[in-house]
Chains A and B, each alone.
Chain A
């Protein structure tokens, strides 16, 4: 059974940093592309970014609002995905979901989702 468990959320001041983790199990993590998706309170889903498997180059793509502030990485030995968030803004307040990607290059989607971890950016 695929399981994705996020952790690391919490309250942080504007301008601060936070690192989220996602522990994966039930599939071969090293072969998987992985994504982060967020949802501000009462709002819709927003794709944050993803990382390809090392076999497929390990490249990363990010949504424009987080580019150059957020960084995705992975530890295939520990089956863990990370999201390093820097220079946080109040508009980054959201539930952050870890997802497993499926599909093909250029046409990928999230087939499994974690339950999310809440990040609140406030002074």
Chain B
């Protein structure tokens, strides 16, 4: 089955840049998406179609994709950005796939 691979954890100090990667074989042909999930809450879309930001998402969140790797960048991470982040893409069979998730610690 198709998989998206993320690092289990990333840690930065407040104000630093956090980068979370996601690798998958179909990413050269499929868009990558990113969700933020804070403890006890439903996920929230923070990046869609590789690099677009939904309304209401702070500008410090950005996305990029190159080859088999998608990257979520949080420039000047804040304490309130501490959360789990999941990448997502659709596979070639028309099914959705989530990465395993990355726990971002900001302290």
The residue that B35 contacts in the complex, of A45, A108, A114, with Cβ under 8 A, is: A45
Contact B90 A106 (CB under 8 A): yes
0/1 string, A31-62, CB within 8 A of B gives 1: 00001010000001111001000000000011
Stretch from B15-23, B56-64, B70-78, B93-101 at the A interface: B93-101
Counting residue pairs across A and B whose Cβ atoms lie within 8 Å, the total is 67
The bracket for how many chain B residues form the interface is 20 to 34
Contact A44 B86 (CB under 8 A): yes
Chain B residues 67 to 107 lying within 8 A of chain A, measured CB to CB, are: 84, 86, 88, 90, 93-101
Q: In the complex, what residues of B have CB within 8 A of residue A109's CB? A: 31, 33, 45, 48, 88, 90, 96
The residue that A61 contacts in the complex, of B95, B98, B101, with Cβ under 8 A, is: B95
Contact A111 B98 (CB under 8 A): no
Q: Which residues of A contact B (CB under 8 A)?
A: 35, 37, 44-47, 50, 61-64, 97, 102-103, 105-111, 113-116
Any A CB within 8 A of the CB of B30:
yes
0/1 string, B29-67, CB within 8 A of A gives 1: 011010101000011110011000010000000000000
Q: In the complex, what residues of A have CB within 8 A of residue B84's CB? A: 44
